[in-house]
Amino acid sequence: MKALVAIPVLLVVLVLDLITKAVAVATLAPAGGASPVFGNWFRFALVYNPGAAFGLHLGNYSRWIFMALTCGAIVILWRLYQQTAPDDLRKALAVSLVAAGALGNVIDRIRSDLGVVDFIDIGFGVHRWPTFNVADMAVSSGAFLLALVLWGEEKRETAAAAAAVAAEQSAARIVSAPAPEQADLTR
């Protein structure tokens, strides 16, 4: 059941990310210029990000470091997906969104030493959010959903453990309670 959600979501998001990046490169080149979509607050601007989210850059080896980190994250996501219950569609959706975004951005890092293609630019005047792409949106929304799902799992496990302890304590009280005196039938 979880594969019916995870696989299509992963493929659709990954293909959408790759297509939108290709369109951005083809139509927005050269990098640096902005094309307003909805006034100045939402526009398209081609940016190559050699670092990570929000421009985090680790020097000359950023590309390789972030590729390795992404590959490690994909392995962890695969294990998390395997441990997901077949009917836990929210967790499968969250994992597939994060994985699709991670794959989309690692493909960019493999294809070009310029970095990840970012093109969605929002903000007001000089106050702009860091430019991002479809993969970034998938990673962010998937990570948020995954955090909610895992938090819910933890709350349920804590409640179940508390109920088990309460039931155990109740059973212990019943076992240790003195038995009512039996009537003396010998009289």
**Is-contact 94 87, C-beta < 8 A?**
no
Q: Is the pLDDT of residue 59 over 80?
A: no
What value, to the nearest 5°, has the Cα angle with vertex 54 and ends 36 and 125? 35
In a domain, 184, yes or no: no
What Å distances lie between residue 173 and 1, 57, 177, 178, CA to CA?
Answer: 44, 61, 6, 10
Does the annotation count 17 as an active-site position? no
In a domain, 180, yes or no: no
Domain that holds residue 142: 2-174
What band does 92 get if pLDDT is binned at 50, 70 and 90? very high
pTM attached to this predicted model: 0.80
Type of residue numbered 45 = A
Rounded Cα distance, 117 and 109, in Å: 9
In a domain, 182, yes or no: no
Rounded Cα distance, 12 and 18, in Å: 10
Q: Is the pLDDT of residue 169 over 80?
A: no
In a domain, 185, yes or no: no
pLDDT in tens, 38-52: 988 999 999 998 876
In a domain, 117, yes or no: yes
What value, to the nearest 5°, has the Cα angle with vertex 102 and ends 69 and 34? 115
Residue of 17, 108, 121, 136 with catalytic role = 136
In a domain, 179, yes or no: no
pLDDT in tens, 131-140: 999 999 999 9
Residue of 17, 108, 118, 121 with catalytic role = 118
Burial (CB count <10 Å: 0-12, 13-18, 19+), residue 22: exposed
In a domain, 181, yes or no: no
User: How many domains, in total, are found in the chain?
Assistant: 1
Average pLDDT score, the chain: 87
In a domain, 21, yes or no: yes
Reading the block at residue 113, the tokens are: 């030493």
Does the annotation count 136 as an active-site position? yes
